[in-house]
Amino acid sequence: MMLHVPDVLTPEEVREVRSALETADWMDGRQTVGEQGARVKRNRQLSEHSPRGHELAKTVLTALARSALFHSAALPLRFVPPLFNCYEGGEHYGLHVDGSVRSIPGTGEQLRTDLSCTLFLSDPDDYDGGELEVVDTYGAHEVKLPAGDLILYPSSSLHQVHPVTRGARVCSFFWLQSLVRDNAQRGMLFELDQTLQALRATHGESAETVALTGHYHNLLRLWAEV
């Protein structure tokens, strides 16, 4: 399941993050991937050890905590702290799959990457190219969202970033381990939760919505890994 999550960051938060990144000490993105990824990756990233990056990551995670839609879809258990990248002057990242396990810097802990997230920090009019293309069983889907919006998709998906031919594409990106490992089960829980919210908004609370809420939590109890 791919999901567009709008307005994760406010316009003011986007401006603050972009301002902080204007004087960032970018490094070659190939330093953060293995041999296979290095063959197709051409971009720059903020070091995972950057103090500035750590502060900006807190801003992103605080913003995510406000998004009921994100939490309904992702059911997050643990995050790899958000990172930041920049593409310009033809930089790109060819077709690849994200690693199945990531280390959480500074903790010695690891997590399973169930979901990948890209939070756009540049508006589409600021650059040409740079579409995120995600390939699944339904074909290839190109994504280029307004600044402050996020795309959520399974980490098992083949994906790439097309060359940026004008301007700069700046994003935050990160991975998470979900309470529910299986993408299909997670998708069913999301649809059930969204339907419940719509029923409550239209008809208010009722015996039926209470019963369906019970079914939601029993399924989550059955499938969750904590």
Higher-confidence position of 11 and 34: 11
Residue 179 and residue 76 in contact, taking contact as beta carbons nearer than 8 Å: yes
| Tens digits of residue pLDDT in 122-132 | 999 999 999 99
**What distance in Å separates the CA atoms of residue 164 and residue 148, rounded to the nearest whole number?**
19
pLDDT for residue 31: 80
| Average pLDDT of span 3-23 | 97
Contact 209, 60 (CB under 8 A): no
Least confident of 10-24, 26-40, 160-174: 26-40
Q: Burial of 11 by CB count in 10 Å (0-12 exposed, 13-18 middle, 19+ buried)?
A: exposed
Mean pLDDT of the chain: 96
Question: 143-171 in b/e burial notation, b at 16+ Cβ within 10 A?
Answer: bbbebbbbbbbbbebebbbbbbeebbbbb
Residue 214 CB: number of other CB atoms within 10 A? 10
What integer is the mean pLDDT of 4-19? 98
In angstroms, the Cα distances linking 1 to 73, 183, 184, 213, 225 are: 9, 7, 8, 22, 19
CATH class of this structure's domain 183-223: few secondary structures
Residue 226 has pLDDT above 80, yes or no: yes
pLDDT digits (tens, 9 = 90+) for 183-198: 999 999 999 999 999 9
Residue 33 has pLDDT above 90, yes or no: no
Predicted structure pTM score: 0.96
CATH H-level superfamily of 3-178: q2cbj1_9rhob like domain (2.60.120.620)
The three-state secondary structure class of 40 is: coil
pLDDT score for 38: 83
Question: Cα separation of 45 and 81, whole Å?
Answer: 14
pLDDT tens track for 143-186 = 999 999 999 999 999 999 999 999 999 999 999 999 999 999 99
**Does residue 34 register a pLDDT over 80?**
no
Residue 182 tokens read as 């299986």
Domain boundaries, the chain: 3-178, 183-223
pLDDT (average), residues 50-70: 97
* Mean pLDDT, residues 192-219: 97
Question: Of the ranges 29-43, 103-117, 211-225, which one carries the lowest mean pLDDT score?
Answer: 29-43
Which whole number is the average pLDDT over 46-65? 96
pLDDT digits (tens, 9 = 90+) for 70-83: 999 999 999 999 99
Res. 141 pLDDT band, cuts 50 70 90: very high
Burial class (CB in 10 A: 0-12, 13-18, 19+), 185: middle
Q: Give the pair of three-digit tokens for residue 169.
A: 């594409």
Mean pLDDT (whole number) for 64-70: 98
